[in-house]
Amino acid sequence: MYEILLVDDHTHLVDSLAIALPWEQMGITAVHKAYSGEEALELLVYHSIDIIVTDIQMNGMSGLELISSINEKRRNLKTVILTGHDEFQYAKEALQNRVSDYLLKPVPNDELELTLRRLISEIEQEGKQLVDQQKSANMFRESLPRLRESLLLDLLAGKTFPAPSLKEKIRLYDLNFELDESAALLCIRVEEDYSNTDLYSVSLLEYALCNITEEVFAEHYRIWQCKDPYDYFIMLVQPLEGAKGGDPENVMPLEDLARHVQHQIKLYLKMKVSIVVSHHGKIVRDLVGMYRATLSTYSDFIGYQTESYLNVIEDQTMIELRPLSSLYATPTLMQLIDVERWSAFEQKLTEIFDELDNQAGNANEYGFEIYTALLQTFTYYVHKKGKRFFEVFGRDIDMLLKADASWSAVPLREWALVSFNLLKAYSNNRSDNLRSELMDRVYRFVAERLSEVTLQSVADYVHLHPVYVSNLFKQESGENFSTFVLRLRMDKAVQLLKSKDLKVSQIALEVGYQKPQYFIKLFKNHFGMTPQDFKNKNSEI
């Protein structure tokens, strides 16, 4: 399996060493011999050497020079130096050349064998790591389409990333998009009814649709695709440098390509689609607005018409209001409260009201939008916990349900924070109660099964992981679970020693110890005397 090269200008030493060790038992299938550094380099060209054992001082090329030369071409070889010179300079040079081991002559065979077996073990381990890394790399490559799609969906939903993090993800996912350059969105809606078509066939058609789009745009644009929650195919495109039509302000090439995509899909897939092309913008700053504008174009202008093509209509005089972006950006209020991320929820409230403060007009409309979203979120949380409003909010329920569209930002913010704090307090109290109830169940279980109780049996009883039970017990009681059980067993042992005429071995079994000697040791460590001494002392009183 492995091959070794022995190098020394003393031929008899090489020849004797070549037959001295149990090479096959060590996993070494070929032992090569060289009588100079130059000959060793020639052998390395024709054989897959894994380990080299060489003397330092040889005529011509020294062992250290040989290793230095090898490291320039094959840095993964294991090298062992044999030398009769115990000098610091040699050891220093060996370290600089990453020598695996440095042995002083004469080297006993068993010591050399032990060294070589260790190196073989290292080679095997490195091979496993290399295989694992290769598997991980293959898995990552296979996951790239899904990772790219997931990242684009996050950006469309308004999720924000620090600029360095987003740039690193784009680089890692091999997307080649430039955040500071202009881009546009294509939104493709399939207008065929595939409800009676099997999933495999539909998946093939969708795969073909994406391939056609990518092939049409590949010569002119970078393209990044995903399928959104509404089953629209979203294509983010960015002009390639020097490509025909690469000027982002020149929409005509993009329009021509989009229409060509529409034609190709119909020609080859027999599928009708409508396409909306957004205005151009920067990915970080404008992507969410570009996406919402394409969706609005479908709902406002295309409707149920088929095989339509439109550029996003940018006449701002047609639209007086747009939804508050921070209110609907992910993670949403509903998502945050669902997992009780209270700090993040409070931060999102701040962002929502900061955006409200920046709105020049329509404060009542936006206020009502915020109020209804929060009321829906609070209602969901309360009902999820199986409670009614008055059980959580008490006398404040009238204020909670006070829908007044004329609220200004200040009282609305106050109402939101008060309601939030009431929910948070309820959650904390509920968690305290649940932990208290859980601890009561643990205490009862331990008391009832003291002679046989274990952490695992308690965890099984309360349907939780043993590590969680252990951490919770320590947090709530202030002592380790094992210490608690030991204390109870020792207390019970004392009661039995006082009240019953039982042997120490019987008492040990009663409190959960099969071996009396172990029980005696624990008792003495706990009370400073043996059970028998305690019994004798108690009988004298």
In tens digits, the chain (541 residues) has pLDDT values of: 889 999 998 888 899 889 989 999 899 999 999 999 899 998 988 888 999 998 888 888 888 888 888 887 776 788 888 877 665 566 666 666 678 887 887 888 888 899 999 999 988 888 888 888 888 888 888 889 999 999 999 999 888 888 899 999 999 999 999 998 999 999 999 999 888 899 999 999 999 999 999 999 998 899 999 999 999 999 999 998 755 444 545 444 788 999 999 999 999 999 999 999 999 999 998 999 899 889 988 888 888 888 888 888 654 444 456 778 888 888 899 999 998 999 999 999 999 999 888 876 677 788 888 988 998 999 999 998 888 877 877 765 666 556 554 467 888 888 888 889 989 988 888 888 888 899 999 999 999 999 999 999 999 999 988 888 898 899 888 999 999 999 999 999 999 988 877 888 999 999 999 889 999 999 999 999 998 888 888 766 5
Same domain, 261 and 330: no
Do 270 and 331 sit in the same domain of this protein?
Answer: no
The two tokens of residue 495 are: 């009661």
The bridge status of strand 51-55 relative to strand 78-83 is: parallel
Together in a domain, 333 and 446: yes
Based on the fold, state whether residues 332 and 230 are members of the same structural domain. no
Residues 248 and 212 grouped into a single domain: yes
Is 285 inside any structural domain? yes
Look at residue 21 and tell me if it is in a domain: yes
Q: Evaluate whether residue 197 is within a structural domain.
A: yes
Q: Position of tokens 């924070």?
A: 417
- Answer yes or no: do 224 and 263 share one domain: yes
Domain count, the chain: 3
87 lies in the same domain as 208: no
| Whether residue 39 is found in the same domain as residue 112 | yes
Which CATH number is 75's domain given?
A: 3.40.50.2300
- Whether 503 is covered by a domain: the verdict is no
DSSP letter, residue 396:
G
Q: Are 51 and 40 in contact (CB under 8 A)?
A: no
Q: How far apart are CA 373 and CA 153, in angstroms?
A: 22
Among 98, 129, 160, where does a domain finish?
A: 129
Distance CA(284)–CA(448), nearest Å, equals 61
521 falls within a domain? no
Say whether both 191 and 64 belong to one domain: no
Q: Is the pTM of this model over 0.75?
A: no
Tell me the CATH number at 237: 3.30.70.270
Report helix angle 481-499 to 455-462, nearest 10.
110
Helix axes 466-477, 481-499, angle to 10 degrees: 70
In a domain, 506, yes or no: no
Rounded Cα distance between 347 and 336, Å, is 11
* Six token digits for residue 271: 């599928």
In a domain, residue 454? The reply is: yes
Residues 6+ apart with CB under 8 A from 350: none
Main-chain phi, psi angles of 434, to 5 degrees? -65, -40
Residues facing 52 on adjacent strands:
5, 79
Tell whether 333 and 296 lie within a shared domain. Answer: no
Q: What's the domain range around 61?
A: 2-129
Residue 144 lies in a domain: no
